Structure 1
């Protein structure tokens, strides 16, 4: 089977006409210090000097890189041609563009910038200024346009192997939740639980779906920092608490992002109390409403609206975030979101759902005096609707500790 990078490069070619560009140009440098988010889809490893990765509408894949970066790209077999330079990339870059656009009088060269999607916005301002300088007094002056439609589609339309890798990450996350349930007992702090999970992730050799300091998010009880907070050494699991964990791991280059919760019972309790059971049922029903609305052609805001209406119809306030985001190389993978029509989300809630997209479905409610009760599932979109990737918990489990 071709490598993931080969699969995605071939997929990029198939997206060129749809995206309305003649050449797609990814322009980077010193990528070990932080790079264009799309780069891991195009190559393994890093690049040092100014580097141009080009894909043409007719299927050619060309790299223009510094002399010491060239051998790794040549040996990968993913690139039809690799041009190296020593002093200045300009001449080699213009020559490559001329070759790729030889039959196009006024080519549209897509580069990676977007006001709405951070994962399609990898071209830094300084590098954009360099491109403009290199294009000056050539036929490519004024030809740069946004490649966001292509980048979004490339990230979002998962190949079979990408979905399999995401499923592997989910399986490992499920295993972590099982171990959390055995470790997390009354009297342990949120931070202790996080450190335990860190040790398991390190032992497995996996990565973190987001920054280590906030992954997993761990909440116990009503005084915990809800959202993207840091687990506390001063908040301890206690009877009557809702215990909530938001966890994402990266395995074989692909991420999971799942939330689970438990009820911490008093010694005499054999079931969760009614207010917790009711909240869990309402959250589950709202997620199911979003799932039913998630189908090809639906707009992200429409899916969000179905879940938002469902939770409010149960007497709970609306959640103050999007219902779901895409997952892939990263836990938050850009592109269309299942979110409300709020300015902060730009155009992303207006993008259509497509087959191959992988989304989270997530929301929660505060249970008075007990804490935050949130769930997050993962789904993949097929031709006729969505399919669950996560194994769902039909009712809130009790956490041990007595």
Structure 2
């Protein structure tokens, strides 16, 4: 069971990250999901709840009495304590028994998947711990959460791999639908029908999954398929899509070129842009291995694009992939302020990333995205790479 795999990982990570205790403090988690809850608890709670992992192997859950049954059923916590009126008493009792020198909380200015503690809960926790020695022992658990989320277990990798395989099956059905007169919205509707056939939800909000771009007039980025922009001869068709399978995501971008009458190949500028994108992904994949930092992998791809005479792409090369399509932790991106310290994170075996970038041409966007796993030896592609434009 993945919850137990991740709980065992978390226990080991306490020592590795210098924490004596990891405390997830949350309430009404259906309204305010916390990354820690998703990783190691697996059930929603209503009242103020505390989930503690101790460096000595302790696992303590303190929840409202009416939430104890659901927490016990998951089998992660060795001790489940219920309360009716106030969490303070049982929380302080647990901390006295553990007596941790450092207590990690779920907050981060860089990594959204490590930033589950709300400001209100932070203020409440300060009130609960007022007058105790534990208030001065609080620190961020972001390093633990980043590694916990980033180091995918074999079970997690298997789910991502199968999500990728389903996505590639759907991609294989799209080519026959691409023809002059078909709108971006038409192609999106077709993809949604394929999701429904396989009983898989999209990896992100359905309104924008898939992203569909037909030709040079289409808005690029996180946009919605247009009902009025239609495929024409000479257009590039770019589709960005993913599915969620058993809680884990895929994220791929694929390309087609619609030939004009008499054309047997894409125009030279389109082919050159496509080849540059492929080479940039090659360069990143060749460098991606344990021990390098995210910004270094991004730079390898970015250099290929710039040296080919194109503007640098205005986004990071790749993001983590897993429970979320943007899964947090280490990021493959440039050292821009918006990415914080995530791009300085050291890459580890078990990380799963996307490798993605695009180049604009007069025929539309050339964009590719592949899903990869970091192994002890380097980089494994989980997707069947696209190395040639599909001609329609």
Fold match (TM-score > 0.5): yes
Aligned to 2:277: 283
Q: Which runs of 5+ in 2 are unaligned?
A: none
**Do the aligned partners of 2:43 and 2:71 also contact (CA within 8 Å) in 1?**
no
- Per-residue deviation at 1:45? 3.1
Structure 2 CA distance for aligned equivalents of residues 397 and 34 of structure 1: 43
- Per-residue deviation at 1:90? 1.1
Q: Say if 2:348 is the partner of 1:354.
A: yes
- Per-residue deviation at 1:267? 4.1
- Per-residue deviation at 1:39? 2.0
Which residue of 99, 106, 110 corresponds with 2:104? 110
Structure 1 CA distance for aligned equivalents of residues 190 and 130 of structure 2: 56
Aligned to 1:324: 318
Aligned to 1:99: 97
- Per-residue deviation at 1:326? 0.8
Q: Which moved more, 1:138-147 or 1:348-357?
A: 138-147
Structure 1 CA distance for aligned equivalents of residues 120 and 198 of structure 2: 39
SS at match of 2:173: helix
Structure 1 CA distance for aligned equivalents of residues 49 and 281 of structure 2: 44
Which residue of 25, 28, 31 corresponds with 2:26? 28
Q: Say if 2:156 is the partner of 1:167.
A: no
Aligned to 1:192: 186
Aligned to 2:390: 397
Structure 1 CA distance for aligned equivalents of residues 24 and 58 of structure 2: 14
**Do the aligned partners of 2:14 and 2:144 also contact (CA within 8 Å) in 1?**
yes
Which residue of 202, 205, 217 corresponds with 2:199? 205
Aligned to 1:386: 379
Task: Map 1:10-21 to 2 at 5 A.
Answer: 10-21=8-19
- Per-residue deviation at 1:250? 0.8
C-alpha distance after superposition, 1:253-307 (max 9, x if no partner)? 1111111111012243332222221111110001100111111111111111111
Structure 2 CA distance for aligned equivalents of residues 210 and 164 of structure 1: 20
Q: 1:372 to 1:292 in 2, by over 3 A?
A: same
Structure 2 CA distance for aligned equivalents of residues 234 and 313 of structure 1: 36
Which residue of 348, 364, 374 corresponds with 1:371? 364
C-alpha distance after superposition, 1:6-50 (max 9, x if no partner)? 000000011001111111011111111231133221133321111
- CA-atom RMSD, angstroms? 1.2
C-alpha distance after superposition, 1:130-173 (max 9, x if no partner)? 11111011221222100000000000011111111100100011
Aligned to 1:134: 128
C-alpha distance after superposition, 1:315-334 (max 9, x if no partner)? 21111111111111011011
Structure 2 CA distance for aligned equivalents of residues 158 and 323 of structure 1: 20
Aligned to 1:270: 264
Q: Say if 2:84 is the partner of 1:86.
A: yes
Structure 2 CA distance for aligned equivalents of residues 203 and 158 of structure 1: 28
C-alpha distance after superposition, 1:219-272 (max 9, x if no partner)? 000010100111111101111111001112110111111111110122433322
Q: Which runs of 5+ in 1 are unaligned?
A: none
Q: How many residues align?
A: 392
Structure 2 CA distance for aligned equivalents of residues 225 and 45 of structure 1: 39
Q: Say if 2:3 is the partner of 1:40.
A: no
Q: 1:371 to 1:78 in 2, by over 3 A?
A: same
Task: Map 1:198-237 to 2 at 5 A.
Answer: 198-237=192-231
SS at match of 2:134: coil
Structure 2 CA distance for aligned equivalents of residues 179 and 33 of structure 1: 37
Structure 1 CA distance for aligned equivalents of residues 68 and 104 of structure 2: 23
Structure 1 CA distance for aligned equivalents of residues 95 and 178 of structure 2: 58
SS at match of 2:179: coil
Task: Map 1:63-74 to 2 at 5 A.
Answer: 63-74=61-72
TM-score by structure 2 length?
Answer: 0.97
Q: 1:167 to 1:375 in 2, by over 3 A?
A: same
Q: Which moved more, 1:311-320 or 1:109-118?
A: 311-320
- Per-residue deviation at 1:311? 1.1
Structure 2 CA distance for aligned equivalents of residues 227 and 29 of structure 1: 35
